[in-house]
Amino acid sequence: MYILGIETSCDETAASVVTRDGNGKPQLLSNVVLSQIDEHSEFGGVVPEIAARAHLSAIDHIISQALLEAKTDLSNIEGIGVTSGPGLVGGLMVGLMTTKAISASRGIPYLGINHLEGHALTARLTDDVAYPYLLLLVSGGHSQILRVDGLGDYTRLATTIDDAVGEAFDKTAKLLGLGFPGGPNVEKAAQTGDATRFKFPMPLRGQETLNMSFSGLKTAIRTEAQKLVPLNEQDIFDLCASMQKTVAEILANRCERAMVQCDDINTLVVAGGVASNIEIRARLDLLCEQNDYTLIAPPLKLCTDNAAMIAWAALERFERGEKSPMDLAPRSRWPLDGSTESVIGSGRKGAKV
């Protein structure tokens, strides 16, 4: 099957084509992503209305480019996967309505895909990872550890009780005047910083829960920064390096505890925008080496939002005979594990997301 994927959940307009080769191995034929960083940078974050308008202006061209790079056209597409949640409703509507129009006019079935499931299954596209595996999902809106036993079979083991880790990076960048997007700017500043200069707290460490907390870390960084005002360049570099190291330690600590709970698993997958952070990947790699685990981290371009992961999730579901109805509505919140009880204050995008 040739599957077209469409992603418009936040500030990237993306389209992709995936399939399997003759031996059933995943094949990524194209992956086109248009970022909206320039449109949002002056506001210090994503503005939903601006994002929706940018998606609307770009989506036709991005889909055409993805088909061109895949050396195919809509006549060969057998299914379309589109992000239908969670995310910004305006952007989701652009992708969903475009998909419905193609589906209706061409007679191509489509599937509304959970954005988080796209991240969860990326390693199966890039590395053909077998079930089950542990998943560390870390991004601007999500910080979760899940057990993945199969397609649609997800058990959330941990989440954040306040800020998501990507949100902590973004707010640290804003505090230190590093601009948008925050995560990459903090990582860049940390490269020339002293990660041992500041010792920041690791909330919830040592407690029974696997849950995470990052609001206290953010407050601690603000406190140290205020002591140093006016900050010089090296102060900023050292704060970023110390913060990044602390986050890596928190995530490694929580993953190690999850490994103990899931003693029948020996693979850890890390996904989401924060998974592109080299320091965090290195710390998780060390953790896996120490615990006889295999770490799977997708290529950097497939950690941030993209349509390849949406197309792949759709392919797996199409193979089970699934399709979505024409009255499917976008969902701003859509938990990957809908059976797990809510955690009050859990993440920027809602308790169960």
Mean predicted lDDT score pLDDT of the chain = 92
Mapping DSSP onto H, E and C, the string for the chain reads CCEEEEECCCCEEEEEEEEECCCCCEEEEEEEEEECHHHHHHHCCCCHHHHHHHHHHHHHHHHHHHHHHCCCCHHHCCEEEEEEECCCHHHHHHHHHHHHHHHHHHCCCEEEEEHHHHHHHHHHHHCCCCCCEEEEEECCCCEEEEEEEECCEEEEEEEECCCCHHHHHHHHHHHCCCCCCHHHHHHHHHCCCCCCCCCCCCCCCCCCCCCECCHHHHHHHHHHHHHHCCCCHHHHHHHHHHHHHHHHHHHHHHHHHHHHHCCCCCEEEEECHHHHCHHHHHHHHHHHHHCCCEEECCCHHHCCCCCHHHHHHHHHHHCCCCCCCCCCCCCCCCCCCCCCCCCCCCCCCCCCC
- Rounded Cα distance, 307 and 82, in Å: 8
**How many Cβ atoms are within 10 Å of 106's Cβ, its own excluded?**
11
Within a 13 Å sphere around the CA of 242, how many CA atoms are in the beta-carbon half?
A: 21
Instruction: Check whether 40 has a pLDDT greater than 80.
Output: no
Residue 16 clears pLDDT 90, i.e. is over it:
yes
Provide the pLDDT confidence category of residue 352 given band limits of 50, 70 and 90.
Answer: very low
Q: Which residue has the tokens 């379309």?
A: 80
Q: Which domains does the chain have, with CATH numbers?
A: 3-122+302-318 (3.30.420.40), 131-297 (3.30.420.40)
102-120 residue pLDDT tens: 999 999 999 999 999 999 9
Tens of pLDDT, residues 218-265: 899 999 999 999 999 999 999 999 999 999 999 999 999 999 999 999
Average pLDDT estimate for 58-78: 98
Question: In this predicted structure, which of 165-169, 328-332, 349-353 has the lowest mean pLDDT?
Answer: 349-353
Q: Residue 349 pLDDT > 80, yes or no?
A: no
What are the tokens at 225?
């920064």
Q: Are 314 and 111 in contact (CB under 8 A)?
A: yes
Residue 257: both structure tokens together: 């505890």
- CB-based contact 158:179 (threshold 8 Å): no
- Whether the pLDDT of residue 347 is over 70: the answer is no
